[in-house]
Amino acid sequence: MASWVLSECGVSPLPRLYPKPRTGHAQAFLNPPNPSKLRISRTDFGNSFSFCLVNHKERNWALRVSAPLTVGQVEEESKENGGEEFDPGAPPPFKLSDIRAAIPNHCWVKDPWRSMSYVVRDVVVVFGLAAVAAYFNNWAVWPLYWFAQGTMFWALFVLGHDCGHGSFSNDPKLNSVVGHLLHSSILVPYHGWRISHRTHHQNHGHVENDESWHPLSEKIYKNLDNVTKKLRFTLPFPMLAYPIYLWSRSPGKTGSHFHPDSDLFVPSERKDVITSTVCWTAMVALLVGLSFLMGPLQLLKLYGIPYLGFVTWLDLVTYLHHHGHEQKLPWYRGEEWSYLRGGLTTLDRDYGWINNIHHDIGTHVIHHLFPQIPHYHLIEATEAAKPVLGKYYREPQKSGPLPFYLLGVLLRSMKKDHYVSDTGDVVYYQTDPELN
């Protein structure tokens, strides 16, 4: 069964406590110098980055956002060439430094008090919902509670996710403590996840090296048995894959997020992985104790079903930020891949009322390119970057109060996005006609 599991969420930049990333070429962007004095002087699409320190004057970003001249020039050239169709797999006419320069300086500032206020808000809501549900203990209330609490568990995950990226605060110890408390409470091994998520961000959009919902190659796909294929592409099974992924990853990859000797980690990360596994085990022991105290059925209603709701949210959101656009998006190999081009294949999504609840994680493009930006600045940073990104930014479809439309997007993608070719450095999803 484990072979059908899909991977979920993906890289966080390491805080200063973890200075040596194992893979990727984007580390210089993951922990930049003082943003008020930073200018990126050169980048070659992910192969190297260099910085120079300069003095910046304050800019009035409320008035306008400047975009590099190259964007306008390219659009004019396109018109002169007869308006050729936009190619999402073509190298962009701008650099990562151009996007970085367009984002206001204050968007890079991390406020630990503000970050903690979101933690307090979410924890109060979680315990409040549980208290209300337990008090009424009514089958008219339980389904509402399960949806609400599953969403709040997902919100807790997103805050822990910020800790893993170092966007929660500039204090690695605070990030680690808060990250462990939040993630352990929803059965996520904080450091194990943090490290594999870092690999996802540093290799986003790469067929072989990406870690989250990366495509299967044609060879791996055709070697799967029919039952595994059906499970992988038939709802709801893919949306419940995350817990199994933590233990065995996805097809074509090996390793466990709980085992310090897994090939996910390097020897210097051994203590971190053990620490997180111990915290995860302590949470499991607490849940076992609570099952004896309140009864297994009550624990299932208060915690078990909301946990499955959280898993569904995690798999759904992660998948839809990398799949399901009406125009097929490229995946890369070899010299065609770069940090910038891989990041530009991610998608923003609108979740209606859920946007605020899950801390605007739907603003995913800028998050992938600059994961050190705090979640409460992502919307502003995205608006500032749009003039630079041009057609490489794809406006998300507007949602109603609840994002039911995303279920249709998910179903369509699951029916056609099955595998990519074993050859070629710029590839697109292909469809298995026998699966439909």
pLDDT of residue 158: 98
Do 193 and 203 meet the contact criterion of CB atoms below 8 Å apart?
no
Instruction: Quote the Cα angle for 277-281-284, to 5°.
Output: 140
pLDDT of residue 271: 96
Chain CA centroid to CA 82, Å: 38
β-strand partners of 206: 332
Residue 186 to residue 384: CA distance in whole angstroms: 35
Residue 251 to residue 254: CA distance in whole angstroms: 8
β-strand partners of 419: 430
User: Structure tokens of 240?
Assistant: 């419940």
pLDDT of residue 83: 54
User: For residues 274-312, b (16+ Cβ closer than 10 Å) or e, as one string?
Assistant: ebbbebbeebeeeeeeebeeeeeeebebbbbbbbbbbbb
Residue 175 to residue 160: CA distance in whole angstroms: 8
Give the H or E element holding residue 408.
helix 405-416
User: Cis peptide leading into 189, omega within 30 of 0?
Assistant: no
**Domain coordinates in residue numbering, the chain:** 2-21+107-435
Do 147 and 312 meet the contact criterion of CB atoms below 8 Å apart?
no
Residue 139 to residue 145: CA distance in whole angstroms: 10
Chain CA centroid to CA 124, Å: 25
pLDDT of residue 74: 40
What single-letter amino acid sits at 26?
A: A
Give the H or E element holding residue 207.
none
pLDDT of residue 277: 97
Contacts for 399 with CB less than 8 Å, ≥ 6 apart: 350, 351, 352, 405, 406
121 secondary structure, DSSP code: H
pTM for this predicted structure: 0.81
Instruction: Quote the Cα angle for 225-229-230, to 5°.
Output: 120
pLDDT of residue 56: 38
* Tens-binned pLDDT, residue by residue, of the chain (436 aa): 443 433 333 333 434 333 333 444 444 444 444 444 444 333 333 333 333 333 333 333 333 333 333 344 444 444 444 457 889 999 999 999 999 999 999 999 999 999 999 999 999 999 999 999 999 999 999 999 999 999 999 999 999 999 999 999 999 999 999 999 999 999 999 999 999 999 999 999 999 999 988 899 999 999 998 888 888 899 999 999 999 999 988 777 888 999 999 989 999 999 999 999 999 999 999 999 999 999 999 999 999 999 999 999 999 999 999 999 988 999 999 999 999 999 999 999 999 999 999 999 999 999 999 999 999 999 999 999 999 999 999 999 999 999 999 999 999 999 999 999 999 999 999 999 988 7
Looking from the CA of 209 toward its CB, the CA atoms found within 13 Å total 20
User: Structure tokens of 28?
Assistant: 């210089």
Identify the CA nearest to 376 among candidates 31, 58, 111, 103: 111
